[in-house]
Structure 1
Amino acid sequence: MTEAFGKGHHLHLIDGSAFIFRAYHALPPLTRKSDGLPIGAVAGFCNMLWKYIQGGKPSDQPTHLAVIFDHSSKTFRNDIYPLYKANRPPAPEDLRPQFPLTREATRAHNIACIETEGYEADDIIAALSCKARDAGGRVTIVSSDKDLMQLVGGGVGMLDPIKNKDIGPDEVREKFGVGPDRVVDVQALAGDSVDNVPGAPGIGIKTAAQLIDEYGDLETLLERAVEIKQPKRRQTLIDNADLIRISKQLVQLDCDTPLDFTLESLELRDPDPEALLDFLTRMEFRTLTQRVADRFGAEAPVIVEAATVATASAKVELPPIDRSLYTIIRDETVLAEWLAEITQKGIVAIDTETTGLDEMQADLVGVSLCTGPGRAAYIPLGHVGEGAAGDLFGGPTLAEGQMPLERALALLKPVLADEAVLKIGQNIKYDCKILARLGLKMGPIEDTMLMSYALNAGEHNHGMDELSETYLGHKCVPIKDLIGSGKSQIGFAQVPVERAGEYAAEDAEVTWRLWHHFRPLLSREHVATAYEVLERPMVPVLAEMEMAGIRIDADHLRRMSSAFAQKMAALEEEIHGLAGGPFNVGSPKQLGEILFERMGLSGGKQGKTGAFSTSADVLEDLAAEGHDLPARVLDWRGISKLKSTYTDALPTHVNADTGRVHTSYSITGAQTGRLASTDPNLQNIPVRTDEGRRIREAFVAGPGMKIISLDYSQIELRILAHVASIPALKQAFRDGIDIHAMTASQMFGVPVDGMDPMIRRRAKAINFGVIYGISGFGLARNLRIPRAEAQAFIDTYFERFPEIRAYMDRTVAEAKQDGFVRTLFGRRIKTPGINQSGPAAGGARRAAINAPIQGAAADIIRRAMIRMPDAIRDLPAKMLLQVHDELVFEVEEGAVDDLIRIARDVMENAAEPAIKLDVPLIVDAGVGANWAEAH
């Protein structure tokens, strides 16, 4: 007899529609080979569902489970407000036939599949959550839908399945500014343009939250609206009271949704292997079919091969990866045979295994090679024998059955340098640097990570494991299975050779397969030029820069650390005086108690632990109100961060062999093409503060050398003037006019000569802010002015430059239609959230507007960097750093003028011949003994 649902039970409710759309947008189009039926969303849905029910922590495992779907677009809410969801576009044509298949997939997994005519999935989730909570059980709603956040609390939580992040009352408050019990009131006021919930015109989430906080609830607010001091807001609430009440009915989830089943019927059940395998076989999901069969110890059904529909580049079906086919190369004869095969085929996938992640310090442990499916091998070179006591010099003893490192490198060297052999890697920059330190040059090269980036920037990460599962349907051996984790973790050199060989050779084969998958897509998706011109050539350029490194003055940093410590101590003393007694300034909890309990300041928001938030935004708002204590704490935090991040940390990054700091640049670190600097990050050192400039003083030139900085002047505004075709801005840039003063003059009708610096500052803030889609609220915060005044500035800006609004609208429309935007140079940047609803859509819209501009700027400096090594090859100079729009060089003193002349010419003409910009690119140059002097 089924046990009654109650205490100790845990109900998981999966938002089926969210899973479907995530699967549809995350995977490339896929059709069933036998008949061409679209099945990409079904494949992704099944993989997500299988992964979900197989994973998770024991404490979070469900005892009861259901997947909830929307039945149809028309619900009882359309009777309340006929225009509800009237703006929603229809589902894509190739997705519609997949909806019933996802229901069938759910039932095939032996999971309850629920939908109710006339009600949305959210209402069913609400009703089930309320019933389960009232019965004493726990509920986890598997979704990130903001509308479901009103249910959080009292045993009901949410899990964002994409970010794998729990959503509790604190996260709800962070999003809406109120607790879950008042989310409906805030949504009713703010409305929702995507769902066509009207709300109160001109009132957004933050204002709505402030009003609800002040008046307690929506009905009280509407009854006391006449008391509101702001005339426009008061009249809006009075005039739209009925519409606001209707909006509340639209956003309020119905916990009384009729259910024709019991909670007990949702008890978690194991899948019926036969039924599940039958469904997966009919869908022709080979990899998942095998995975499920393995899980149940069953024999996977044979999926009959069907003729692949002919395309411009028909995909070749490959056999599954079989690690038992791999070879361990232990002697010269076998290695020579492999190298002969590689030379004959002219292509090889290669991967290195090392003792660490720092390419400037890690030692080589082994090399893996792949020439085709199942044809992969591993060359062990640095594995340590188990239990070895070490040699006479205290070093570990190598395991038996490995070639001498020097001999293996000698055999590999000519093949790796052979221009007739293409070397394929995944993040091959790492391998290039490891081998370069051993005297081996590798080229020509291709990188599957960069191919994925060219095809799918903005859609997902580009690590090999994720690419393998997404595009090959193959799960790689996790590295932790070999080396463990935590205190028991070992180095790769300690992994037994046979196990290491399977892992490493698999990496090479997966890379080989990814290359064959991505290569034809580059041309088909019209990104081959972007990959060949902007991505692949960056690898050797960055490898050379990173290996060059930059000198730092460690003594200077130590002196700064000491000065920072003294300044922090002085600030602490001042803060204690303002607080009325000593406390730990670094403790957010203690600070919150002092600000909001002892001092009684307004704006305190408590999280689920009861602690007050003391984030930078909170302290900045308090400081803007004239409170000294939060202002001094912000100063203290700023100095503390500089001390810990830079003056204390940078000396620890000095390489013992080179005496320099070697940052690492990620080519795929940002979807717009901007590079990301890590270990250490040298791109975020403040330049507008005295302390930041002093930190840059620590980056110094070598003896007889100078540091040169070349920086594009206002490049993103210049690109905006070009892409939006703004006559006034283009002419100003051509004439060399102060663009911010010109903008202020155009907007506010004041002469350029003798302009008030404050007016120019406001124009500058708008000029740069508009590129990032700044709101009236954001500009108000930046300029410390009322929001209405800031919004008026933005409105005036768009009235004066209507071409910018036209560009924004055009770009968003294209992003919604295509799912991506392109830069001037053909870089494609996906915009996966552009058609979603809620605040996420606003962020996606701003990203879509900014991406072509920031992306084009990134493309231009990449083009300059790629051309730079050849341009300065005959000079005693090296390119050391890239910091967004700036390049930093080290050059002998006698060649400073030549370097500036040549490098500036390369940078100012980097867009050509691909693009002829309507405005000139200008590069500012500086020279100094250190970076601060040069910038």
Structure 2
Amino acid sequence: MPQDPRILVDASSFLYRAFHALPDLRAPDNLPTGAIFGVANMLRRLAKEYPSDEIIVVFDAPGGTFRDRLYPEYKAQRPAMPEDLRAQIPLLHEWIQATGLPLVLVPDVEADDVIGTLAGSAQAGQQVIIVTGDKDMAQLVNDQVTLLDTMKGVKTDVAGVWERYGVAPERIADLLALTGDKVDNIPGVPGAGPKTAAKWIQQYGSLDGVLAHADEIGGKIGEALRASLDYLPLSLDLTTIRRNLHLPEQSYQRVPENTQKLRSLALRLGFHAWLKEYPAEPGTENNTEVSVNESAAGGLMPIDRSRYRAITTPAALENLLQKLQQADLVALDTETTALDPLNADLVGISCAWQEGDQIEAVYIPVGHRDDSTQLVLDHVLATLRPWLENPQAAKLAQNAKYDWRVFWRYDIHPAGLCRDTLLESYILDSSQNNHDLDTLAQRHLQHQNITYEEVAGKGKAARNFADVPVSEALPYAAEDADVCWRIDAQLWPRFANEAGLQRVLMDIEMPLVLVLARMEQAGVRVDKEQLKTLSMELGRDMAACEAQAFKSAGQSFNLGSPKQIQEILFDKMQLPVLKKTPGGQPSTSEDVLAQLAVQADLPRLILEYRGMAKLKNTYADALPEMINPRTGRVHTHFQQAVAATGRLSSSAPNLQNIPVRTEQGRRIRQAFVAEDGFYLLSADYSQIELRIMAHLSRDARLLQAFAEGQDIHAATAAEVFNLAPEAVDSDARRAAKAINFGLIYGQTPYGLAQQLGIEQSAARAYMDRYFERYPGVLTYMEQTRVLARQQGYVETLFGRRLYVPEIRSSNAARRNYAERAAINAPMQGTAADLIKKAMIAVDAWLQETPARGRMILQVHDELILEVPESGLEAARAALKELMEGVADLAVPLLVGLGVGKHWDAAHG
């Protein structure tokens, strides 16, 4: 009978990989759990695939090793283990021990050496599988030992080592000694990569052979090799895995798992999906440890899709209505035919609420084609209207703005929206990239949702949700509501002790949801013919610009091809390479071309062409296609949960990036027009971030300048350049403006020098003089850096939190970037909070009397209203009063107003 393999798990390498690869998973008490989940899940899969008696999990022990004594600089460049990872290790060790797998940590050596010894001590004929992603382990491969990378699904045997590295497994340490290891700080031969090192070993047999024939290797690489002869033996010693350790006596046989301990840990960590595998023993439900942890997990049973019900009879619908009216909180979700709520027909409605320790989730199908097992839409809406429109009936949603707009299509105006899980996640950590329901389910519930593609298909095989049978739609749709309720149960308690975050969520973001929904619903009128004319003009100008570019280059080429531009600018014209892409190619980015334009016409022409192409493709040609045929208007989508600073963004179309400094860019804005009998009214906060800086820094000169209504850029010019106020000309003011805003954005002397076209030393002198005259600003910046380093985040004036984890990085570039972000974020974030509070106040004034007009756009620090001509003066007065009075700062808020028949006239 074949012997079970010995499986050796290099857990330390997987620990880091899981930590960086998985989302920021959190336990109910906010303990980070991503690394625990990743490693534990890998071990669970491994144990199922290889039911061997010998699965041995090996970790690096705390403290140094013999290699540190051999070479004190060994791993000296490695950053300290992140605190969020360090906090997970004790519980991960507990989990592994509870599974019954032997856990091995040996002081003074590395996990690699323990694994090397355990691999070598396996019984004759017993196969050994080393589970790792570490290339160093390839030196252990032989006929008995193979490597398995479970994250990539790759197995490596002797032939695989040869194929990947070009040398035999027993020569891997030699290869690593020659190439060195930047991560471990092991010195190698400068300039010798894996291919060069492998070629040497193939030619001379080993490292010793390479050293013996070093004089035969020519060129600079040969010189580098000969200069490295003294330390290469040490490098080999450091890269060689020990295989003859005297290990402490320990059993390497797995023992039965401790099911109750695993259940307790799963509850403690929030791994609810695994609870069904660790059932409570009869009579232990009231065990203190389990009860405490179940309480922390919300006391909810794991997700069970078999419990989901479809509501398909009038009696079931009436019974559901009673349940909803009795529930304290209901998660609400819609299924529709389209992503745009203006064109989306209802296909079904999902609801979830708590009954005892269960979440009840149901799906009400109303719009499935060719399916008789559903209710009539009008009957469902009429039945649910009293509950939907009851402001006392607390409702919860994921991206409620969409669902509410869908109901508006049917003249249903839901009330009682109390929380949105999308926004809860965003407020808790805006640095996370995704806050969609599927990501949140994995991050907070360790649960994999049914995906839309699994139900509706993708690509050519995709079908509309209305064509999905009710039986298939039920688990997908009901799960969305179920998961939404559970995520809120995880996230909302985290706000209890965070007054600032709770204030941002409940006083700013949640009230803004329906404000944005009304703005999206209103849309903005666009002059289609004007855009058509502009598109033709841009096309003509692009052709002329292209002809000039061909003449300047001495050949025709594709102005949209970075590769062809690189060849002409840097190979043919020999212009200097100022920056390289991540792939090592010369960069042709906008800032590079702007710098090169000083030396040659062609970079300037390419920039002009790109600018015109963007305007034509993104706006002049695209906007007419976005006009809704029913409303005759363009309806952008405002996104609350994208920018880390709290700024709103928009899509389809993106209105945040329309260039306004060129005549053609302003022509785009001129195409946004008011309806007949209406005007566009623009209100723009003046120098809002500088005013916030004055408030936060409490610098006496800044406070005085704003209090007296001075031109802040002219005042700065007078201070920095030691000029009398009347002597400040436009050039001095422009330079001072660059300094004012550059400091807010953390600009370096180099960046300021580039912007002003001056020497770096002069830029540094300007900045030094600025801080001499405005010492409060310098103090604020220094204090902010210190605070951010201590707590890992900064906050806006209203409590919005902006995380800067890289501020503790050992990488100077990353750390400096994080410091600049820490200084800028409170100002950008506070500006975002102010404009949002202004939108809420203005919307409330508009809702009092709908005839007053409507708010239609928000871009940067500007609000745009569409108001009837008869109410223009009243709207101007109200808008200015509301926006300037939205917060009480140490300096006055100032709002500039503009009116016009199109956006450019109003903005100007």
TM range (shorter): 0.7 to 0.9
The aligned counterpart of 2:741 is 768
Structure 1 stretch displaced more, 447-456 or 668-677: 447-456
By how many angstroms is 1:793 displaced? 2.5
Distance 1:17 1:472, change over 3 A: closer
SS at 1:432 equivalent: helix
Give the letter aligned to residue 929 of structure 1: K
Give the letter aligned to residue 616 of structure 1: E
The aligned counterpart of 2:606 is 633
The aligned counterpart of 2:517 is 543
Encode CA deviations 1:167-189: one digit per residue, 9 max, x unaligned.
Answer: xxxxx9xxxxxxx97799xxxxx
The aligned counterpart of 2:534 is 560
Alignment partners' CA distance in 1, 2:304 and 2:387: 27
Structure 1 stretch displaced more, 374-383 or 96-105: 96-105
Query: Does residue 532 in structure 1 map to residue 540 in structure 2?
Result: no
Encode CA deviations 1:797-816: one digit per residue, 9 max, x unaligned.
Answer: 22332222221222232223
Query: Does residue 329 in structure 1 map to residue 327 in structure 2?
Result: no
* Matched-pair contact (CA < 8 Å) for 2:636–2:651: yes
Return the match for 1:904 from 860, 872, 880.
880
Alignment partners' CA distance in 2, 1:667 and 1:610: 36
Distance 1:112 1:908, change over 3 A: same
Structure 1 stretch displaced more, 715-724 or 614-623: 614-623
Alignment partners' CA distance in 1, 2:308 and 2:192: 57
By how many angstroms is 1:750 displaced? 1.6
* Matched-pair contact (CA < 8 Å) for 1:468–1:476: yes
Alignment partners' CA distance in 2, 1:578 and 1:774: 34
User: Where in structure 2 are the equivalents of 1:364-443 lying within 5 Å?
Assistant: 364-372=346-354, 373-385=358-370, 399-443=371-415
Query: Does residue 496 in structure 1 map to residue 469 in structure 2?
Result: yes
The aligned counterpart of 1:855 is 829
* Matched-pair contact (CA < 8 Å) for 1:326–1:374: no
By how many angstroms is 1:89 displaced? 7.7
Distance 1:48 1:707, change over 3 A: same
Give the letter aligned to residue 891 of structure 1: V
Distance 1:71 1:326, change over 3 A: same
User: Where in structure 2 are the equivalents of 1:636-675 lying within 5 Å?
Assistant: 636-675=609-648
* Matched-pair contact (CA < 8 Å) for 1:383–1:493: yes
Structure 1 stretch displaced more, 338-347 or 608-617: 608-617
Would you say how many aligned residue pairs link Structure 1 and Structure 2?
A: 797
By how many angstroms is 1:679 displaced? 1.4
Give the letter aligned to residue 768 of structure 1: F
The aligned counterpart of 2:435 is 462
The aligned counterpart of 1:734 is 707
The aligned counterpart of 2:332 is 350
Return the match for 1:599 from 568, 573, 583.
573
* Matched-pair contact (CA < 8 Å) for 1:743–1:763: yes
Alignment partners' CA distance in 2, 1:746 and 1:500: 68
TM-score, length of structure 2 as denominator length: 0.78
User: Where in structure 2 are the equivalents of 1:807-886 lying within 5 Å?
Assistant: 807-838=780-811, 839-872=813-846, 873-874=848-849, 875-886=851-862
Query: Does residue 924 in structure 1 map to residue 896 in structure 2?
Result: yes
User: Where in structure 2 are the equivalents of 1:160-179 lying within 5 Å?
Assistant: none
Structure 1 stretch displaced more, 850-859 or 110-119: 110-119
Give the letter aligned to residue 852 of structure 2: P
Distance 1:860 1:286, change over 3 A: closer
Query: Does residue 49 in structure 1 map to residue 39 in structure 2?
Result: yes
By how many angstroms is 1:766 displaced? 1.6
Gaps of 5+ in 2: 4-8, 46-54, 114-131, 153-162, 166-180, 182-188, 194-219, 245-252
Alignment partners' CA distance in 1, 2:600 and 2:140: 47
Give the letter aligned to residue 574 of structure 1: Q
Encode CA deviations 1:23-47: one digit per residue, 9 max, x unaligned.
Answer: 999344667xxxxxxx945x42132
Gaps of 5+ in 1: 3-10, 32-38, 56-63, 144-153, 157-171, 173-179, 185-215, 224-244, 263-270, 386-398
* Matched-pair contact (CA < 8 Å) for 2:577–2:586: no
Distance 1:83 1:775, change over 3 A: farther
Distance 1:652 1:72, change over 3 A: farther
By how many angstroms is 1:783 displaced? 2.4
By how many angstroms is 1:455 displaced? 2.4
* Matched-pair contact (CA < 8 Å) for 2:42–2:150: no
Encode CA deviations 1:774-818: one digit per residue, 9 max, x unaligned.
Answer: 122322332233333333332332233222222122223222332
By how many angstroms is 1:880 displaced? 0.5
User: Where in structure 2 are the equivalents of 1:739-758 lying within 5 Å?
Assistant: 739-758=712-731
Distance 1:367 1:835, change over 3 A: same
Query: Does residue 891 in structure 1 map to residue 864 in structure 2?
Result: no
Return the match for 2:63 from 72, 78, 101.
72
TM-score, length of structure 1 as denominator length: 0.76
Encode CA deviations 1:855-896: one digit per residue, 9 max, x unaligned.
Answer: 111111111111112323335311101112100011111211
* Matched-pair contact (CA < 8 Å) for 1:365–1:383: yes
The aligned counterpart of 2:136 is 128
User: Where in structure 2 are the equivalents of 1:205-216 lying within 5 Å?
Assistant: none
The aligned counterpart of 1:781 is 754
Alignment partners' CA distance in 2, 1:457 and 1:255: 46
Alignment partners' CA distance in 1, 2:724 and 2:111: 58
SS at 1:702 equivalent: coil
SS at 1:904 equivalent: helix
User: Where in structure 2 are the equivalents of 1:249-288 lying within 5 Å?
Assistant: 256-261=238-243, 280-281=262-263, 283-284=265-266
* Matched-pair contact (CA < 8 Å) for 2:36–2:89: no
Encode CA deviations 1:885-919: one digit per residue, 9 max, x unaligned.
Answer: 100011111211111100110000001xxxx3110
Alignment partners' CA distance in 1, 2:481 and 2:802: 28
SS at 2:807 equivalent: coil
The aligned counterpart of 1:237 is none
Encode CA deviations 1:411-434: one digit per residue, 9 max, x unaligned.
Answer: 121211112211111111110001
SS at 2:808 equivalent: coil
The aligned counterpart of 1:586 is 560
Give the letter aligned to residue 570 of structure 1: A
* Matched-pair contact (CA < 8 Å) for 1:107–1:113: no
* Matched-pair contact (CA < 8 Å) for 1:725–1:803: yes
Distance 1:805 1:48, change over 3 A: farther
SS at 1:796 equivalent: helix
SS at 1:919 equivalent: coil
Alignment partners' CA distance in 1, 2:136 and 2:853: 69
Alignment partners' CA distance in 2, 1:474 and 1:285: 14
Alignment partners' CA distance in 2, 1:623 and 1:141: 51
Distance 1:636 1:537, change over 3 A: same
Distance 1:533 1:370, change over 3 A: same
* Matched-pair contact (CA < 8 Å) for 1:130–1:255: no
Distance 1:799 1:808, change over 3 A: same
Q: CA RMSD in A?
A: 4.6
By how many angstroms is 1:681 displaced? 0.9
Give the letter aligned to residue 732 of structure 1: A
Alignment partners' CA distance in 2, 1:352 and 1:253: 62
* Matched-pair contact (CA < 8 Å) for 1:696–1:930: yes
By how many angstroms is 1:688 displaced? 1.9
Distance 1:81 1:374, change over 3 A: closer
User: Where in structure 2 are the equivalents of 1:495-514 lying within 5 Å?
Assistant: 495-514=468-487
SS at 1:813 equivalent: helix
